[in-house]
């Protein structure tokens, strides 16, 4: 493989890639990011070269879903490339994703960016579907920016944390339902089912490695989970709680075992579950704390990264 030199200028179309590049020691090489690249704090000072075509912060979950469906059906843009900012950045490398057309800039935006730059930049497209793929993606970035040693150290440290979760001594495996959107309901796919299994739970409804999908409350009732984890894509706990009342008022929701037992949790999905990067491993550790509080007592997670809800 031909490596790019340390002086290469990078535009990141993926928040988790921005985070990874910082951890690899390549922060100074980043010359452009997306509107969502807010971690670590230094990323907020990088030039924004792409933004959404609408303001989700002013919309409900139902309105966001409807808007995205409308844009996809009409072929209109979900994300808009800032031509001037991109030309000013003059990147040698664009890091993007091929996983989800909704979550981050996708094929159309990548092609537009390359055309704006006259076809000059190299493009690294990441497509992780589970935790193993996430570690591979980290090494792909490390190799691309000639940070292989740093990449190996980072992957090794993350793998040790994964192994620590998998090595917990547990007496039972609770049924766990992870919900990725509240209105309409979506079950969480991709790496989340694997996280549930690694953290000592039984995943329900969704399939490991497959995309998240719409679900019906009747599916949840049939699975009747012991634990429900709310992780709306891109939302923090405060935003999740704001979206919860319509679902919480449903009689079918109230009839679920986890709801009646008070075993419903909200997590900071935006930081630890929605984006496939190093902090996804924190998400795995949070899942362990939720599923097995006793067995995971030695595992540390950030304060206010998850919250048990009082729904009655």
| Secondary structure (H, E, C), 149-169 | HHHHHHHHHHHHHHHHHHCCC
Indicate whether this model's pTM tops 0.75.
yes
What residue ranges of the chain have pLDDT lower than 70?
A: 1-7, 99-108, 311-312
Q: What is the pLDDT of residue 4?
A: 44
The token pair at 267 is 């997590």
Closest C-alpha to 47, from 92, 10, 16: 10
Between CA 158 and CA 236, with CA 151 as vertex, the angle to 5 degrees is: 50
CATH topology of domain 170-308: Rossmann fold (3.40.50)
Half-sphere exposure of 69 (CA within 13 A, CB side): 8
- Neighbouring C-beta atoms of residue 245, cutoff 10 Å: 9
Cα(22)–Cα(84) distance, rounded to whole angstroms? 25
Q: Is 292 exposed, middle or buried (0-12, 13-18, 19+ CB in 10 A)?
A: buried
- The pLDDT assigned to 169 comes to 96
CA–CA separation, 24 and 149 (whole Å): 9
Q: Which pLDDT belongs to residue 247?
A: 94
Say how far apart CA 211 and CA 230 lie, in whole Å. Answer: 17
| Domain residue extents for the chain | 10-127, 170-308
CATH number of 10-127: 3.40.50.1980
pLDDT, tens digit, 9 for 90 and up, residues 33-84: 998 999 999 999 999 998 888 888 889 999 999 998 898 888 888 888 889 9
pLDDT of residue 72: 82
Tokens of 281: 């491993």
| pLDDT tens digits, 260-274 | 999 999 999 999 999
Same fold across 10-127 and 170-308: yes
């Amino acid at each position: 493989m031909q490596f790019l030199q340390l002086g290469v200028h990078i535009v990141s179309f993926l928040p988790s890639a921005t985070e990874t590049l910082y951890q690899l020691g390549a922060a100074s090489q980043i010359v452009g990011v997306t509107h969502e690249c807010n971690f670590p704090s230094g990323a907020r000072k990088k030039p924004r070269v792409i933004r959404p075509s609408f303001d989700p912060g002013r919309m409900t979950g139902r309105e966001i879903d409807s808007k995205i469906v409308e844009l996809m059906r009409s072929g209109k843009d979900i994300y808009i490339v800032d031509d001037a900012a991109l030309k000013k950045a003059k990147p040698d490398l664009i890091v993007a994703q091929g996983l989800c057309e909704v979550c981050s800039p996708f094929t159309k935006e990548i092609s537009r960016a390359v055309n704006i730059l006259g076809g000059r930049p190299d493009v690294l497209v990441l497509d992780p579907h589970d935790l193993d793929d996430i570690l591979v993606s980290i090494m792909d970035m490390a190799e691309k920016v000639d940070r292989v040693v740093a990449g190996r150290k980072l992957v090794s440290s993350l793998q040790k944390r994964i192994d620590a979760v998998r090595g917990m001594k547990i007496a039972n495996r609770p049924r766990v339902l992870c919900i990725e959107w509240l209105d309409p309901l979506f079950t969480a796919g991709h790496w989340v089912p694997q996280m549930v299994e690694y953290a000592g739970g039984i995943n329900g409804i969704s399939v490991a490695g497959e995309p998240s999908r719409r679900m019906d409350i009747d599916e949840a009732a049939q699975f009747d989970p012991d634990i429900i984890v709310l992780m709306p894509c891109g939302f923090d706990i405060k935003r999740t709680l704001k979206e919860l009342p319509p679902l919480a008022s449903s009689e079918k929701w109230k009839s679920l075992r986890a709801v009646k037992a008070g075993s419903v949790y909200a997590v900071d999905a935006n930081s630890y579950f929605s984006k496939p990067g190093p902090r996804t491993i924190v998400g795995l550790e949070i899942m362990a704390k939720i599923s097995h509080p006793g067995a995971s007592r030695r595992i540390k997670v950030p304060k206010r990264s998850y919250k048990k809800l009082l729904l009655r």
